Structure 1
C-alpha cells in the first residue's frame, strides 16, 4: 500500500492483536461444579462438560472434535491446539476457514486483530482489511496464505488427495517453515491426528488450488485434485475401526453432518455392527425453528441413526464464552493422562 495516509490508518486499525486463551493457565473445575448446581444454560454446560470428561475417561472412546464458525479467529485457537497437544481429541472435522484462514494463517506468522472500532466496511475494503464481526484480518496476509497453498500444491505428485492428506502436507510445511508452535495443523501432523475439511476449497485454500490447476492446464501439465469422496470414505473407515466414539461439536453445518453421517455410511457398506456415536455435545446459538441442518438437535440426529440419545447435551451459547470453561475443566481433571493415543492418521500411511 503506497498511500502513507492509508498505511497509517491501516496500522492504527491493526494495532491490537487477538490473544488466544490459555486453558492451562486457570482451573475451571470450581466454576463448572458450581454451574452444575444452577439451572438454564449453566447446568447444560456443566452436564456437557461431564459428558466430555466421560469421553476422555472411556478407554475405548475415540473423540472427534468438530468445529464450524469463527471461534478460532476470536480467541479459541490455542484452546483447540491444546486439546490436540494433550491427546484430548483423536480427529478433527472443521471448515476450511477454521483450518486455513485462521490456524494455518497464524501458523505462517500472521495475526488476527481486535476491532476497537467498526468503521464503514467500504473503508475497510479500501485498506485491504477483512472483518469477522469485531475481528480484523489483513487481506494482504491472507493472500500470502493463498500463495503458500499454491506452492504446496506445486510440490505434490499430480493425483487425487483427500483433504486430510493435503492438510497433512500443510502440517509438514509448518514443521519446516512455520512461525507458531501452538498451531492446530502443525500439532495434528506431529501427533498423527487427522484433520478433515469436507468443504475445503471454501477458504483461502480454494484460491491457491484454483491457481495451481489453471496454471497446469495452461502449461498442458497434470495437476493434483481434491477427492471429496475419499474424505467421506476415510472418515467412515476411522469410525468403523474406532468402535465407541464421542463428538465434541462447536457450531454445526457441514462438519457436523459429515461426522454424523459416518454411521449411516458404515451401515451402507455392510457394517451392521457399527454403533451410533455414544457421546455427543454440541455448542451452538442456532435456532431449531428454521429447520436448517446447522440447528438440528442431537435428539433429531438420533432419528437418523447417528447418535445415542442417552448421553448427549445441547448447549445454546456463544462458543467463545463457554468452550474455555469446558476445555479447562477437562484439562485439569486429567483423564487425558491415562488415554492411549489413537494416531488415526497412521491408518492411511502407505
Structure 2
C-alpha cells in the first residue's frame, strides 16, 4: 500500500467520530439548578448566574448580548448558541472570529468537528492535515475550503469598508442560499436581523481569505473591500444607546468582553451622559484573577470603569462547556423568552 493510501486511511480513522452538539430542549435542567441554589461554591454561583439570565429575559426593557470567546462552539455548544438566537433569547452577539468562522460558518458549509479518540504526535497530525483544538479535530483541507468561500464572498462585494457585522451578514446570506445546516448561528442571525460583531475578525480563518482577496485585487490594479474596526465600535455603541437597559451573557472574555463593555464609555464620550451601565452581567470563565486580568477584569472591577452595575452580576469560574448547557436549558424551559419583544437590532443599519 502506498504512503498516500496509508495516510488517507489513517486520516479517515482519526476523523471517524463527529462532535455532537448538545440540544438544550431535550432535557430540563430546572430541577438541577434549583437544587444547586441550595449548595455552595461553583454550584451556587451557577444557580445565581442562571437566575440573573432569567431576570434579563423577563425584563421587558432589556436587550441581551451573547459574548463568546474560546472554543465551546467546536466542543459541542454550537447548537446551544443557535437555539438561544432562534428562541429570541439573545439580541446581539459579540464573538471571536474563530467562534464565528472556523466553527459556526465552517459547519454551516457542511463540514464537521471531530472527537479525538486518540492524540498522536502533533507533527503526525500536521502531516495528515488535521488541526487540533485540545481533544477536537478539524480537517485542514475543509478549513481551506472555508477560507476560499470567505474569499469568494469578499470578491462579490463592492470594494469599500465594511464593519464585521456587515460582512458577517453577507456570510449569513450566503449560508441562507447555499448552506448545508439549518442550525447555524451565522445563518439564523441573518434571517432574524440579529447583529454579530467580531472585533478581531481577521484573527480567524476569515483572515486568510480576506488577505488573498486584497492581494489578488491589488495585483490586478483593482480596489478591494476592507474591514472597518472603528465602524464595529460605532455600530455597537449605537445599539447600546438605543437599547438602554442591557444584559451580558459572557462565555470566556478577552477582546469580545471588553468590546461590549466599552460601549458604555464610548456612549458617554459621544455626549450620552445618561447612558446606563450594563444592568445585568454573567461571565463563565476559567481565567485567573492573579495576573490582574481574568480575561479582561472581573465584573466587579469593570464597575470602577463605569461599564457594569454590580447589583446583578455573577462570575462563574467553570469550564463553560460543562455549565452552559445547564444554564441555557433552565432558561429555555422557564420560558420567559416566549413573551419577549423581538429587537432585530440589525435593521438599525439596513
Same fold? TM cut 0.5: yes
Structure 2 CA distance for aligned equivalents of residues 122 and 136 of structure 1: 14
- Determine helix, strand or coil for the equivalent of 2:67: strand
Following TM superposition, by how much is the alpha carbon of 1:293 offset from its aligned partner in structure 2, in angstroms?
A: 5.7
Q: Residue 286 of structure 1 corresponds to which residue in structure 2?
A: 287
Where in structure 2 are the equivalents of 1:40-55 lying within 5 Å? 40-55=41-56
Query: After superposition, what is the alpha-carbon deviation per residue over 1:146-166, rounded to whole angstroms, capped at 9, x for unaligned?
Result: 000000000000000000000
Correspondence for 1:325: 326
Question: What is the aligned partner in structure 2 of residue 20 from structure 1?
Answer: 21
Q: Secondary structure in 2 aligned to 1:65?
A: strand
Count of residues paired in the alignment: 349
- The aligned counterpart of 1:101 is 102
Q: Secondary structure at the match of 1:98?
A: helix
Alignment partner, residue 82 of structure 1 = 83
Higher mean C-alpha displacement, 68-77 vs 292-301: 292-301
Q: C-alpha displacement at 1:212, in angstroms?
A: 0.3
Q: Distance in 2 between matches of 1:90 and 1:290?
A: 32
Q: What RMSD, in angstroms, separates the aligned Cα atoms of the two structures? A: 0.9
> Which residue in the other structure is 1:134 paired with?
135
Provide, for residues 243-281 of structure 1, a one-character-per-residue CA deviation record: whole Å limited to 9, x for no partner.
Answer: 000000000000000000000000000000101000000
Distance in 1 between residues matched to 2:196 and 2:27, nearest whole Å: 28
Q: Does the 8 A contact of 1:64 with 1:246 survive in 2? A: yes
State the shift of 1:296 in Å: 1.4
CA contact (8 A) 1:66 1:255 kept: yes
Displacement of 1:2 after TM fit? 7.8
Matched, 1:254 2:255: yes
Q: Residue 213 of structure 2 aligns with which residue? A: 212
Structure 2 unaligned spans of 5+ = none
Task: Give the Cα–Cα distance (whole angstroms) in 1 for the partners of residues 31 and 3 of structure 2.
Answer: 53
Consecutive unaligned residues in structure 1, runs of 5 or more: none
User: Using a 3 Å threshold, how does the CA distance of structure 1 residues 258 and 295 change in structure 2: closer, same or farther?
Assistant: closer
Q: How does 1:298-313 map to 2 (within 5 A)?
A: 298-313=299-314
1:105-254 correspondence to structure 2 within 5 Å: 105-254=106-255
How big is the shift at 1:181?
0.4
* Residue of structure 2 in register with 1:69 after alignment: 70
What secondary structure sits across from 1:290 in the alignment? coil
In the alignment, the residues of structure 2 paired with residue 293 and residue 162 of structure 1 have an alpha-carbon distance, to the nearest angstrom, of: 28
- Contact in 2 for aligned 1:61/1:246 (Cα 8 Å): yes
> Does the 8 Å CA contact 2:246/2:278 hold for their aligned counterparts?
yes
In the alignment, which residue of structure 2 is the partner of 1:5? Answer: 6
- CA 1:211–1:2 in 2, change beyond 3 Å: closer, same or farther? farther
CA contact (8 A) 1:69 1:98 kept: yes
- Contact between 1:288 and 1:295, CA under 8 Å: does it hold in 2? no
Distance of aligned partners of 1:89 and 1:2 in 2 relative to their CA distance in 1, 3 Å threshold: farther
Distance in 1, matches of 2:228 and 2:55, equals 35
Cα distance in structure 1, aligned partners of 2:101 and 2:325: 22
Given that residues 255 and 296 in structure 2 are in contact (C-alpha distance below 8 angstroms), is that contact kept between their aligned partners in structure 1? Answer: no
